[in-house]
Chain A
Amino acid sequence: MEPALIEARGLDIAFGAIPILRGVNLAVPAASVALIVGRNGAGKSTLVRLLAGLSAPTAGEASLFGAPSRTLDSAARRRLSIVTHQSFLYPNLTARENLEFYADLYRVADGRAEIPRWLERVGLTSAAHARVRTFSRGMEQRLTLARAMLTRPEVLLMDEPFAALDADGVGLVADLLCEAVARRCAIVLTAHQPITIDGLEFDLYEIVRGRLRPMHGRAIGASAPRAIGGVGR
């Protein structure tokens, strides 16, 4: 059994007097993906923030790389990437400049040299010198993905990465996820409903009434050509 890179033990969080999550336990080892499903307001984004150490739980502990998320040191934070609804991009910088900024910030070895390759990967080469302010939502999403993957993370936390993406975009995310898993990344994804991706195994969970429960029917891909399907409920 691999040691878990992402862990939650007995996580509780409440906003004031209203509990959001209760007793959440989770362990995600390297090279595996946990897909967490829940309705709006169920606490998915909150859980991602807790795992990232951006929020403090009212009880329990979230940890990454075996250390508490809340007090991660600089070296550990270098190995973490987060993707949320917010793009983390500077509107008045160009696509290239944004990526350069993050490459420098995360001290990625040869980071700057790889930027053209990443831009091509996410299909933004022609927009490399355009300011992010002029981007469409979809373009922003793609650039955010490049930003997240550029830093070669070992832990990836993604809050609803499939939302507001077209079929190509979803395919891109799927490809990037497969690559990340191949690189032995530990990944947590959230979504509204379960998703299947060929070639990728998820550990499915759902948040119901603040509790995290494994969801039955683990999604395993078929050997058909690359196809993404949403399993209806």
Chain B
Amino acid sequence: MMRSALLWLGVALCGAAPVASQRSEDAVARAVRAGALRAHVEFLASDALEGRGTGARGGDLAAKYIAAQFARLGLEPAGGDGTWFQRIPLRGRRFTSSLAAVGGPALEAGSDFVGYLPGHDDSASVTGDVVFVGYGIMAPEAGWDDYHDTDVRGKIVLALAGTPGDRDSSFFRRPARTDYGGRQYKVDEAARHGAAAAFVIYRPPYLATWSAIADAWLGEQIRLESGWTVGGPVQVAGWINEPAAGRLIRQSGDSLDRLAAAALRPGFAAVPLQLRLVASALARTRTVPTVNVLARLPGRRPAEAVLLGAHYDHLGIGRPVNGDSIYNGALDNASGTAGMLAVAEAFVTSGVRPRRSVLFAAFGAEEAGLLGSAAFIARPMVPLAQLSAMLNLDGLNLLADTRDIASLGADLSSLDGLFRRAAAAEGYAITPPDSPIMQEAQAQDFFNRSDQASFVHAGVPVAYLSFGDRIGAAPAGSGKAALDDYMAHRYHQPSDDLHQPLDFEAGTHSVRVFARMLLAAADAPARAQWKKDSPYQRPN
């Protein structure tokens, strides 16, 4: 008994597979068809789908298309109440805000700052003393605490965007949590310390430009209904652009440069400033109807499940570029949705009956902040403890076939072995962690920028399919060059459409790796486990 259990564990860890499962993995992989991938991408990314905007007609059409495909395959509806659809309870809000030093001139909304209300209130105003809290990070595992014991209750905190690791790579290296750099974390942390308002200081280098941040916050913010309550005592929050922050801090007799330099040093403690600010904001609110689309292929032991996900939403119709206002999102993420559908079809047509159930999930509202996956986590279709693994497809490799392939996040869990075996079966090398593309993935924080992040924080092991580094016989870095070109010219632009060259054979090849891995994870004797040194673990 003991021996055989150990043997199974050994099998799972070293990645060998019994012959029968090898055969069914081969069958599933072969049944993933380029024709299906192309068909779904061409439909979902056609202008007729109007960019699949959240709460918009095109997004609704996409959800219904996906449901039709699930229904056609004879899968079970898994959205609740016998339907394919899980409602994502979204609330959209537009803000008008103001910010000024007490007795000083008002800052310019848009160019100097953007403000919002993190709670349910339709308006709020805070006047308070200002505390500079460095990067606003409390990371016990890294021995870092920007707050120390500084009392910020009822005060207005200013925190730098990003992490000290952005400027000094000896800090915050993986596997430390990487969401410390984001606005949401900093506002939440300020709330935990009792602050009444929190502003993040935008200071390049950062993931986004100031104008992108300002545009986003001047437009409608869409979040889960519950997402408007996590601000706790923080009544007003926002971003301040670097020059405006510099001017405010100068009024207190200090300087942003000096404070920022101090914030990089270990042992930094928050600095109360000789400055009072008045921050206020108003909100106009509406509900935004949208859904996740969920299907189940029942397993032989259906208590447990694995999940293959992809978000189907994109940016809808927006600001025209070169006369084109439809943000088709062909790669982002018609491609991943098509990959998920092609894998679902492969599971059905190959007739496999895995041990665990397989959930196929098309998430909505990803572009608005991973909201569909967050809604799923809030009301999961299987208890999260029984969800063995989540595999995510976001931006399939339709650029060119690479010799190597990578999976972000798999290396943190027992999925690593499954991924390596699946990649090898498809003739891929594993992309080296120090390769240009992996460095780029880390720099761009891809791991926290798609739906797997929602699952990671709930303790579910994940894997996210990434681009490889070498195209055909081209040298190292050619994969990154192709990705750079996409990121620079088409990412989140109307030109991410069907007019760019799309290599569906390459996409099919890479998706087959995840099809194999999904089946292996569904059939594995034990649930996927985080590695011991992973920063993420299942909740106790």
A and B co-occur in one complex: no
Q: Please give the residue numbers on chain A whose beta carbons come within 8 Å of chain B beta carbons, in ascending order.
A: none
Q: Please give the residue numbers on chain B whose beta carbons come within 8 Å of chain A beta carbons, in ascending order.
A: none
